[in-house]
């Protein structure tokens, strides 16, 4: 940890996003954006997530372009393992025919996994580099340069993913059941009687809305907590070395698991949306 | 920690990534994998077929070998039989030839004996006649006694 911080300041600094907004004075950053309201952009979240997404697409696209049907190279074999893993999960859960679900699941899995893996990067490195670049490159106060490098610890990102999935749930529900069928599903279950329509509607709406909400909050909560503990471990001096190792090793399991859970639940929700009762 | 415009940016990025993945990544990978699966399945089927063919061929070969063996045994048996038969026949023929030759020899000997006997008899008779003629020439006409001599010869 940088010595000029108190522990509270240190933790707070590490958990703050780099912000950007446009005000009357033009584009400003961080503390100047405190009063900007909704129109604030988390440039670190956006930068890392889009960069990692592009990395995923670049690797997979380059493999897809040169994919041989014969003996695959090592990179192609690796990509195909992931591909096959996602494909078999989609096929075992989603029984309809859709060109979208499988690529969606693949994108979610690999993208979220890459973003989660940023959690394993030692917590000080990226903020330190960013601080130095800010200080020596742009003459900023390094305390006012923020870099939260794990995009999945940003609620905006997890909610964006969940919202995307939620839009697809609505789209598939209406597409497969018709608008009437979808309305009926919301109002005639679980008690199939006209008198229960309001009760049913409340119950079913909660069910429906709980899906994206739980998706977003689960991913955010897990990653935020683990990042927080990484930061806490980083504050305890030399004893952090074995602790950090244990926590990081544990996250080799947790990070892919969270990505997998997000992907799997997406598939399950979409297959539920496509099912006719 | 608040929800802000980042959400919109991420939503757009998410949509673009999924769209790109759907159009540019998934189909070629799927095609490559399915193609390879087909190739492998074909190869396995071909291998299986070849194995079955080999098994069939081996069965055929062993059957033919067995046939050939029995045939060879049969031919050898026949040849042995034929050889025995030939030897028997030849022996038989030799025996009968010998018998025939011996019989012929006997017959020839017999004939010669008879002929010599006849000759001898004739000569004895003519000698007797000549003797008698010479004896009788002095006493009796040879012509008158000729029939008696002939009668004698016949009786010999």
Q: What is the DSSP string of B53-118?
A: HHHHHHHHHHHHHHHHHHHHHHHHHHHHHHHHHHHHHHHHHHHHHHHHHHHHHHHHHHHHHHHHHH
Mean pLDDT calculated for residue range A124-144: 82
Where is pLDDT greater, at B107 or B2? B107
How many whole angstroms separate alpha carbon B16 and alpha carbon B14? Answer: 5
A228 and B CB contact within 8 Å: no
Model confidence pLDDT, tens digit, residues A84-93: 999 999 999 9
Contacts 24+ apart (CB under 8 A), B33-37: B33/A80, B33/A83, B33/A84, B35/A69, B36/A69, B36/A70, B36/A72
Is A4 a residue whose pLDDT tops 70? no
Quote the pLDDT of residue B140: 59
Contacts of B2 in chain A (CB under 8 A): 40, 155
Which residue in A64, A70, A164 is closest to B29 by CB distance? A64
pLDDT at A13 over 70: yes
Q: Which chain A residue has its CA at the smallest distance from B38's CA?
A: A69
* C-beta atoms of A64 and B24 within 8 A: yes
Distance set, CA A160 to CA A54, A69, A115, A228, B4 (Å): 17, 37, 14, 22, 11
User: Which region, left, alpha or beta, applies to residue A97 given φ > 0 means left and ψ of -120 to 50 means alpha?
Assistant: beta
Please report how many Cα atoms fall inside a 13 Å half-sphere around the Cα of residue A74, on the Cβ side: 0
CA distance B54 to chain A (A): 27
pLDDT at A202 over 70: yes
Q: Which residues of A69-97 are buried (b: 16+ CB within 10 A; e: fewer)?
A: eeebeeebeebbebbeebbebbeebbeee
What is the side-by-side order of every strand in the sheet holding A19-23? A26-29, A19-23, A41-42
CA B14 to chain centre: 89
- Which residues of chain B are within 8 Å of residue A69 when distances are taken between CB atoms? 32, 35-36, 39
Q: Of A1-10, A61-70, A155-164, B128-137, where does mean pLDDT reach its minimum?
A: A1-10
Largest Cα separation within chain B, whole Å, is 195
- The yes-or-no verdict on residue B141 having pLDDT over 80 is no
In this predicted structure, what is the pLDDT of residue A5?
A: 73
Range scoring the smallest mean pLDDT among A44-48, A81-85, A93-97, A266-270? A93-97
Strand partners, A21: A28
* pLDDT surpasses 90 at B102: yes
Exposed, middle or buried: residue B98 (CB in 10 Å: 0-12, 13-18, 19+)?
Answer: exposed
Tell me which of A119 and B141 has the higher pLDDT: A119
Specify whether the CB–CB gap between A249 and A102 falls below 8 A.
Answer: no
Q: Which residue has the tokens 């081996």?
A: B58
Torsion (CA) A142, A144, A147, A153 in degrees, nearest 10 = 150
Number of Cβ atoms within 10 Å of the Cβ of B108: 10
Q: What is the mean pLDDT of residues A130-136?
A: 85
Tens of pLDDT, residue by residue over A19-70, are: 888 877 777 777 777 777 788 888 888 999 999 999 999 999 999 888 877 7
Which B residues, 13 through 52, put their C-beta within 8 Å of a C-beta on chain A? 13-15, 17-18, 20-22, 24-26, 28-33, 35-36, 39
* Residue contact A53–B13, C-beta within 8 A: yes
- Asked if the Cβ–Cβ distance from B4 to A53 is below 8 Å, we say no
pLDDT digits (tens, 9 = 90+) for B15-49: 999 999 999 999 998 888 888 889 999 999 999 99
Q: Who has greater pLDDT, B131 or B140?
A: B131
pLDDT at A1: 41
Could you report the per-residue pLDDT of B62-90, keeping only the tens digit for each? Answer: 999 999 999 999 999 999 999 999 999 99
pLDDT category of residue A277 using cuts at 50, 70 and 90: low
Are A104 and B11 inside 8 Å of each other by CB? no
The residues of A that are catalytic are 214, 218, 222
Mean pLDDT confidence for A137-163: 86
Partner-chain contact B9 A61, CB within 8 Å: no
Sorted by sequence, the CB contacts under 8 Å of residue B59 that are 6+ apart come out as none
Checking if the pLDDT of B8 tops 50, the result is yes
What residue has token string 């330190």? A128
For A20, phi then psi, to 5°, come to -145, 135
Nearest to B2 by CA among A112, A212, A40, A223: A40
Best B11, B14, B33, B41 residue to mutate vs chain A (most A CBs within 10 Å): B14
Contacts of B15 in chain A (CB under 8 A): 164
Give the C-alpha distances (Å, rounded to integers) separating A172 from A109, A145, A181, A238, B125: 20, 43, 12, 53, 154
Cβ contacts of A41 on chain B, cutoff 8 Å: 4-6, 9
Mean model confidence pLDDT for chain A = 87
Count Cβ atoms within 10 A of the Cβ of residue B24 and give its class: 0-12 exposed, 13-18 middle, 19 or more buried: middle
Is the CB of A70 less than 8 angstroms away from the CB of B5? no
């Amino acid at each position: 940890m940088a010595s000029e911080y108190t522990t509270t300041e240190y933790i707070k600094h590490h958990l703050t996003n780099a912000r950007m907004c446009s005000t009357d004075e033009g584009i400003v950053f961080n503390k100047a954006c405190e009063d900007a309201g909704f129109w604030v952009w988390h440039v670190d979240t956006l930068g890392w997530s889009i960069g990692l997404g592009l990395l995923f697409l670049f690797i997979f696209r380059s493999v897809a372009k040169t994919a041989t049907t014969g003996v695959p190279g090592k990179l192609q074999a690796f990509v195909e393992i992931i591909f096959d893993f996602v494909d078999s999960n989609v096929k075992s859960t989603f029984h309809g025919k859709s060109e979208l679900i499988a690529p969606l699941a693949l994108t979610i899995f690999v993208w979220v996994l890459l973003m989660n893996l940023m959690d394993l990067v030692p917590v000080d490195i990226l903020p330190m580099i960013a601080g130095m670049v800010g200080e020596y490159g742009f003459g900023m106060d390094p305390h006012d340069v923020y870099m939260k490098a794990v995009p999945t610890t940003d609620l905006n990102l997890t909610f964006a993913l969940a919202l995307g999935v939620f839009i697809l749930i609505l789209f598939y529900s209406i597409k497969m059941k018709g608008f009437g069928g979808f309305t009926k599903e919301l109002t005639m279950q679980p008690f199939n009687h006209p008198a229960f329509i309001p009760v049913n509607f409340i119950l079913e709406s909660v069910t429906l809305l709980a899906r994206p909400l739980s998706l977003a909050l689960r991913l955010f909560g897990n990653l935020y907590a683990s990042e927080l503990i990484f930061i806490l471990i980083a504050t305890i001096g030399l004893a952090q070395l074995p602790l950090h190792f244990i926590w990081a090793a544990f996250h080799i399991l947790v990070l892919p698991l969270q990505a997998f859970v997000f992907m799997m639940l997406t598939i399950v929700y979409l297959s539920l949306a496509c099912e006719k009762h | 920690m608040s929800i802000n415009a980042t959400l919109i940016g991420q939503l757009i990025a998410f949509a673009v990534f999924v769209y790109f993945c759907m159009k540019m990544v998934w189909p070629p990978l799927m095609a490559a994998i399915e193609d390879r699966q087909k190739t492998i399945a074909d190869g396995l089927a071909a291998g299986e077929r070849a194995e079955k063919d080999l098994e069939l061929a081996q069965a055929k070969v062993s059957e033919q070998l067995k046939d050939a063996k029995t045939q060879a045994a049969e031919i050898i048996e026949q040849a042995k039989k034929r050889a025995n038969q030939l030897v028997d026949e030849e022996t038989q023929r030799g025996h009968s030839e010998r018998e025939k030759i011996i019989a012929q020899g006997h017959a020839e000997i017999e004939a010669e004996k008879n002929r010599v006997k006849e000759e001898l008899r004739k000569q004895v008779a003519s000698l007797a006649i000549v003797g008698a003629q010479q004896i009788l020439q002095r006493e009796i006409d040879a012509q008158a006694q000729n029939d008696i001599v002939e009668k004698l010869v016949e009786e010999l």
